[in-house]
Amino acid sequence: MNKEGIRVIVGLGNPGLEYAKTRHNVGFMTLDRLAEKHNAAFMRNRFGLIAKWGNIFLLKPLTFMNLSGDAVGALARFYKITAAEILVISDDLDLPLGTIRVRARGSSGGHNGLKSIIHALGTENFPRVKIGIGRPTQGMTVIDWVLSRFTAADWTVLQPALEKASDAAEWVVVKGPVDAMNHFNSH
């Protein structure tokens, strides 16, 4: 099942009900779908909310987005997990709403959660599944945009995208990030 050695799937988001359905929390939402598919229940521990899918940790850091690396780095050190064994699911402003992109590695692209993880792990060499949330509407700041809730019309696009992002994460686990990129990035 674990060809490329993924041992942790991290969904990025902010803890708390006030952030639950915001654009920045699509990583959490995708992880919820993965956990549901694999009958995994989240439990709180010192790293955040953790569930297990076989031998793979599903992690929702509870450190808030900008400090995601604190939780990811601590878990990686404790379990002796390398960056290449960590798959991160995050939102992406530069992709249209609902677009999914898989990357084998890369920069933060200005995403503070990814910046924090890169800093904590000391490398950009970890795979990602990115979910497009689009750019802010006229007159809205990036911060206000990522912390805003989706409209009803957005949800009709987002629901299938979250399912596709969950499928992409499974694909990375089973067949590796390059194969997942070839499959998901062309659609």
112 is in an annotated binding site: yes
38 is catalytic: no
The answer for 62, left when phi > 0, alpha when psi is -120 to 50, beta otherwise, is alpha
Could you tell me where the beta strands, DSSP code E, fall in the chain?
A: 8-11, 43-45, 48-53, 56-60, 86-92, 100-103, 128-132
d(CA 42, CA 74): 18
Q: Residue by residue, what is the 3-state secondary structure of 32-48?
A: HHHHHHCCCCCEEECCE
From the list 9, 1, 187, the residue with the least C-alpha distance to 99 is: 187
- Please tell me the number of Cα atoms within 13 Å of 55 on its side-chain side: 11
In this structure, the strands spanning 48-53 and 56-60 are antiparallel
Q: Are 180 and 171 in contact (CB under 8 A)?
A: yes
The tokens describing 131, both together, are 């979910």
57 is in an annotated binding site: no
39 is in an annotated binding site: no
Q: What angle do CA 25, 72, 89 make, to 5 degrees?
A: 35
79 is in an annotated binding site: no
Active-site positions? 24
Q: Which residues are annotated as a binding site for tRNA?
A: 19, 64, 66, 112
